[in-house]
Every structure is written in structure tokens, then in C-alpha cells.
Amino acid sequence: MSLPPDLDVTRRREIPTIRRAAALCAVLLLALLMNATRVQIFESEPYGDNPANHRQAIDRYGRPRGDIMVDGRSVTGSRDTGGIFRYERTYTDGPLYAPVTGFASQRYGTTLLENTQDPVLTGTDPTLSLFPLWNDLVHKHPPGGRVVTTLNGAAQRAAYRYLAGRTGAVAAIEPSTGRILALVSAPSYDPGQLSGVSASTARAWARLTGDAAQPMLNRAIRQTYPPGSTFKVVTAAAALDSGLVWNPDDPTPSPDPYLLPGTTTRLTNETDGCTNASLRYAFAWSCNTVFAKLGVAVGLRTMAATAEGFGFNDPRLRVPFAVAPSTFDRKLDQAQLAMSSIGQFDTRATPLQMAMVAAAVAGGGSVQAPYLVERTTTSSGATVSMTGPRTRYRAMSPMTAALLRQMMTDVVQGGTGRNAAIPGAVVGGKTGTAQHGVGNSGMPYAWFISWAQPDGAPEPAVAVAVVVEDAAAERGEISGGGDAAPIARAVMQAVLASRPGYGPNSRPGSGADPRTPRGSNSFSPTAR
């Protein structure tokens, strides 16, 4: 059946119009698809990071955060606020563990373990799921995982308790593995105060960041100090390993006072018997003149190489968060080298670095890479990743390490470190009193580094470093042995007491109260 002529003409005119409309719709659809592709793929990051876009934050805080574990229990948690950013971070014993956990704040971001382990804790780490690509496609993530730390809770509490009211830090390491057993900084703060988005969170931030005491500064890993006489362990290692000193009991050609090379400055000692003293005596009684002269005799290149063998000048150390580099200058004249060799001038170290120095002696000359995360797991406890021991530095020969262990034991048994002695264990230590400030006008820092080995054990169980910035004594009475050694003793006792078979009389805090700078075991204030 044919159409009337007028309708047939109309139909022929409409067909091109329909085709053009269809083509236009196809072009518009293609443009829409191209724009969607551009937005979702090529420009997704700028849109996602735009401060006005709260979708990521809403998703991030829309589920509980995974937990950080110490001794099998959580020291973190999540609180349901019912708000748009639903879950806020909570902390158990927040000030105690703040130098390890850091904070997770909806307003100010994350720090320390909360930062480096964020993918695990938020559930976005691909290793937490069997089907990570599918989860990304549907924008669904498994529950946050757990971060199991290496901390010994008793050691952490002992360090925090006995450092209370002072400014300083404690770091403790297991020498054979590098596991960090304690990491404490004082004063501390409660990271839970920074978790939310309320006005109180902003007030807490302003108060903490404006506090002259710097409670948010992690002094154990981010603050460097002149290590004072504790650095003499490094100088002694250089002298023994280089062959400059063969027998630690032989006299050394060391005048008292010692005229610093190229200057009119005379370096003196705060104890007697340092003239031509043997290395063993000079180490036990901390003779500045002996070690300054030894450093010059060893030479800058060897001294710097030995220091770097312990971990100095390493900007890449992470535990897993970054550690401030400890430094030994490679450009020194002889007078500066002399002072650097006794832990003064430009030599600076974190407490963690000095714990590594003690651990090198205890560990036979090698330094294990320090680490804080034992393993990560899913929310149900299935292991996702593990960290194992790894040798990072070779500080000295095993023979030199054995000699230094004897010398550090002498310090505790009859030298300046007697306040660190522990019944039922062999303890080695080195005291230090570090001058600082313009013209050494600052209150000296009290240092003590040590290690402890239970009687009958095959190897030392713990190495510790303690620094006290504001030692509670008159300036002339401040000493590493009087102010820092009792704190180290408490931490070492806590670690030993947690090991099977250790005696019941070695409870943390037994013996003299470390808050009393000089008790019945005190000795001459010249013993530094």
C-alpha cells in the first residue's frame, strides 16, 4: 500500500532530521562518557584531595580503626560518636604510649605508628584481603588490621614511672634482635585529646603546641643531645680495633691536664688518677684527658668510620617511623676532634642511638636494625606481615666487644655506675654528664647507657639508654651514675623479671629510689 504523495514527501524530509538528532545524541553520550572518564581516572586525585570533598574522610572515619597492641592487649580503640565523622580514636594509657603510637586526629592527621601503619589500621592495605582489586572496584574494605609491637609493657611502665616529673627519654633494645622494648619521652601528652573535630580538640592542639616543655616532642628518637662520656664507648672501640691500644691495662701517655692541640685550652678531669691512666681505669672513672688524646691519636677518618659503624650519620634509619640522624662531624680540626671524642663539641645522639651503642657491645660487635613492629595481622588475628632480626651495622670486632663488656662491667661493679647494679644479673654500663649551651652554661644532661644479662643466660637480654635533661640536683652534683643509672636499672629489672627463670628479688623499683639522686650507694660527685 502506497502513501499519499504529500505524506511520502513529509516522511522523506523527517528521516535526515531523526538521523541528525541521533548523531547528536551519540556525540553527547560520547562526550559524557569521556568527561566521566576524565573526572574518575585522570582528575580523580585533585577532586579527591580537594578540601571541600568530605567523602573520603566520611568513608575513612565511617568504620572503627584497627588497634595497636602491646603484650597482647590493645592500647588503642575507637569510639562511635554518631556524627558525620563517626569513629574517633581512643587511647589506653595515652601519655605512656604516645612516643610509640603517636596520634590519629580527624583534624590534624597522623603521626608515628598511627601514620606509618595507617593502611593496615584503616583496612586499606591490599594484603588484608584476598580480593583487593574487587574491594577497590566496589569501594569496600575489610576491617582495620592490628599492629603488634615489640614493646615490653613492664619496661615501658618502669621507664615512664621513674622518669616522671623530669624532662628526658629512655630507649631499650633487645641486643640479639633489635626489638625495641621501651621508648619513653617526658613530659608526654594524651593523644586522645587530639582525636575529634570539636572546639576542645583545637584548644588542646593550641595548648600542646604552645607549651614550652614540648610534650609532643619525641625525645627518644627525634631529639639529639651531646652524649658526653657515654660516647667514650665508641672512642674506646676505635682505639682497640685500630690497634692503637692492645692491652686495656697498659698505661697510656696521657697528661693531666691535656692541652688541646693548636689551642691554649687545657682539658681537665673531675676525678683523680687520670695521668697516664690505663684504658680500663680511664673508662671506669671517665677520664676526659685520656679519651680526648686517644681520639686525636686514632685520627678523624677512623673515629668517623667507627662512629658510623655504630649508626651515626645515617639519615635513613626508620623503626618504622623516621629517627633523627645522630652525628659525628667529618670535618674537624684536632682540638675539635679531641672534644668530639668525649661526646662534646658537635657530636650529637638520640637516646635510641646510644641504646644501639650499648647493644653493639652486648651483641658481640654487630648492631641489629632496631624495629618496633613485630607483625601486622587482620582483625581476626591472621598474620599479614612479620619483621625479623637484621644486622644493620658492624661496629667493631667480637674481641673488642668482649673487652668493652668487661670494661662496662667494671663501671657498674666498682666505678661510676654502681647505682645500676642488679642482683642476679651481670650489668655493664657507662655514665655521662654532657655540657651544653653557650659557654657550657646550660644545666648538664645526665646520661647512662647499659646492658644486663641474667646469671646463667647465654647473652644479654636488654640494652638501655637514659638521658635526663633537668637532673634534680645542684649543678655540681649532676651525674649519669646518680640521676640516670637508677632509671636504667628499673627498666632492665622490668625486662629481666619478664623472662622465665629470673629471680623473684629483681622486681622493678627494688633497691634505692631512683628519684633520690644520691642514696646510700652514692659516691663522690666527681664520678661522672
What one-letter code names the amino acid at 152?
Answer: N
Which are the catalytic amino acids? 229
Query: How far is the C-alpha of 283 from the C-alpha of 446, rounded, in Å?
Result: 17
Residue 452 phi/psi, 5° resolution?
Answer: -140, 140
Residue 459 phi/psi, 5° resolution?
Answer: -155, 160
Query: How far is the C-alpha of 78 from the C-alpha of 61, rounded, in Å?
Result: 10
Contact status, residue 368 vs residue 279, Cβ threshold 8 Å: no
Among candidate residues 164, 280, 163, the one with its CA nearest the CA of residue 172: 163
Place of cell 614493646: 151
Among candidate residues 159, 160, 153, the one with its CA nearest the CA of residue 491: 159
Strands 425-434 and 258-259: unpaired
Instruction: Based on DSSP, count helices (H) and strands (E) in the chain, helices before strands.
Output: 17, 18
Q: What is the DSSP letter of 318?
A: B
Contact status, residue 310 vs residue 357, Cβ threshold 8 Å: yes
What one-letter code names the amino acid at 44?
Answer: S
